[in-house]
């Protein structure tokens, strides 16, 4: 059975087609600059990567180009071979605790929750509508980034704010990256050979979050109402004293929109390093002795270590710490710095094992009290698995 995993951004469309349940990738690709001019896309099929320039005015045109590529590359003979399309949706609020088949009511809820994810949910809704037009016979599913975190107890998802804010405006912790945390925690349980586990999963990329996972269910996570909570990220500030916001707004006459832009797009590693939001540039700056980059890395690592320590105490122990996503999988020095800070928990690093990128591997030493692993995430595969299960 062929299942298509889709991740629609405001001006992009990422896709991967699987033969299920074999989990074989038939074709994958990314369409960029949709609706903004000079659009192009890259596809990978039969081990070959191809880039093409084509004007894409909207997501429906992007799906039509996708169909053309499927047919021209003999991936499908008929669109009816694609039985399901799974869509990544960032915000499911407290309505959805699992993947669901999309109907009018589900689509309406996704659009209703756009105020909590203004950059992501409208794009997902647009992608869903376009897919329904182009693939009318396929089962369409919504896979929510927030769903995995819906098992958090109330004491972990509520804020100490007026309760009517929660009742009237749904102000609470939702988390994000749930599909990734679910994928790597399930894989970690497979490796350990049991499900009664205590795991700390570190999804560290340009956006980043840490989760505490007990017996396969999320106990706590670092992101909050929005993705701008918890860790220091590429351009997001993460946890700050909330009173900083009205204080600086009064001093500078910034509007709410300008402040939102500052804490989401002008902060984090970019602000600290005064150089770049990209961890590779930070590492390069550290090698050159750049003091701002050195400070940025210290603060970045410290925040991750803080959350690992917090969740270790909350779970009363830990069986494994998992590193995943772009930085978690590829940044050798960052993993080393984090693990070296965890010595008080009896965690020790195997330097040789850690000298690897994007490869599933145990990187803690034999005498480490907690196993540390690199597990490359695969959110598209998780989407395909969930969609197959519903079909």
Model-level pTM greater than 0.95? no
Which tens digits make up the pLDDT trace of 328-355? 999 999 999 999 999 999 999 999 999 9
What is the residue range of 105's domain? 2-144
Residue 158 lies in a domain: no
Position 123 scores a pLDDT of: 81
- The tens digit of pLDDT for each residue in 161-201 reads 999 999 999 999 999 899 999 999 999 999 999 999 999 99
Q: List, for residues 2-52, the tens digit of each pLDDT value.
A: 999 988 876 778 899 999 999 999 999 888 888 878 888 899 988 889 888
pLDDT at 56 > cutoff 90: no
Using one digit for the tens of pLDDT, what is the confidence trace for 230-256? 999 988 999 999 999 999 999 999 999
159 part of a folded domain: no
User: Residues 212, 359: one domain?
Assistant: yes
Same-domain pairing of 138 and 201: no
Looking at residue 10, its pLDDT comes to 65
Residue 272: pLDDT over 80: yes
pLDDT at 79 over 90: no
Question: Catalytic amino acids?
Answer: 145
Supply the pLDDT for residue 131.
Answer: 86
CA distance 295 to 166: 37
Whether 357 and 243 map to the same domain: the answer is yes
- CATH number, domain with residue 82: 3.30.420.40
Q: Provide the number of structural domains found in the chain.
A: 2
215 and 354 both lie in a single domain: yes
Please give the pLDDT value at position 31: 87
């Amino acid at each position: 059975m062929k299942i298509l995993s889709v991740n629609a951004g405001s001006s992009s469309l990422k896709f991967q087609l699987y033969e299920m349940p074999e989990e074989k990738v038939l074709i994958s690709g990314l369409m960029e600059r949709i609706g903004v001019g000079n659009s192009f896309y890259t596809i990978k099929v039969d081990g070959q990567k191809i880039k093409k320039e084509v004007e894409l005015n909207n997501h429906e045109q992007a799906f039509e180009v996708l169909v053309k590529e499927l047919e021209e590359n003999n991936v499908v003979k008929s669109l009816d071979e694609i039985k399901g399309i799974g869509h990544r949706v960032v915000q499911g609020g407290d309505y959805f605790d699992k993947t669901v088949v999309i109907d009018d009511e589900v689509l309406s809820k996704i659009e209703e929750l756009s105020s909590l994810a203004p950059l992501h949910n409208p794009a997902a809704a647009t992608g869903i509508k376009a897919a329904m037009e182009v693939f009318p016979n396929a089962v369409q599913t919504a896979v929510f980034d927030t769903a995995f975190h819906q098992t958090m107890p109330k004491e972990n998802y509520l804020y100490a704010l007026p309760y009517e804010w929660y009742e009237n405006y749904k102000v609470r912790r939702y988390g994000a990256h749930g599909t990734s945390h679910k994928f790597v925690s399930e894989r970690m349980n497979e490796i350990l050979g049991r499900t009664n586990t205590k795991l700390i999963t570190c999804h560290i990329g340009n956006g980043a979050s840490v989760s505490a996972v007990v017996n396969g269910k999320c106990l706590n996570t670092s992101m909050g109402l929005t993705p701008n909570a918890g860790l220091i990220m590429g351009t997001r500030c993460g946890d700050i004293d909330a009173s900083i916001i009205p204080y600086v707004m009064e001093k500078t006459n910034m509007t709410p929109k300008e402040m939102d832009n500052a804490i989401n797009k002008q902060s984090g590693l970019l602000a600290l390093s005064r150089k770049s939001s990209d961890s590779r540039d930070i590492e390069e700056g550290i090698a050159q002795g750049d003091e701002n980059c050195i400070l940025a890395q210290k603060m970045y690592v410290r925040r991750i270590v803080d959350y690992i320590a917090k969740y270790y105490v909350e779970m009363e122990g830990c069986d494994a710490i998992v590193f995943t996503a772009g930085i978690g999988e590829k940044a050798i020095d960052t993993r080393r710095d984090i693990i070296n800070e965890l010595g008080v928990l009896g965690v020790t690093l195997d330097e040789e094992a850690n000298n690897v990128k994007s490869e599933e591997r145990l990187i803690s030493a034999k005498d480490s009290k907690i196993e540390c692993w690199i597990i490359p995430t695969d959110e598209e595969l998780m989407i395909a698995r969930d969609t197959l299960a519903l079909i």
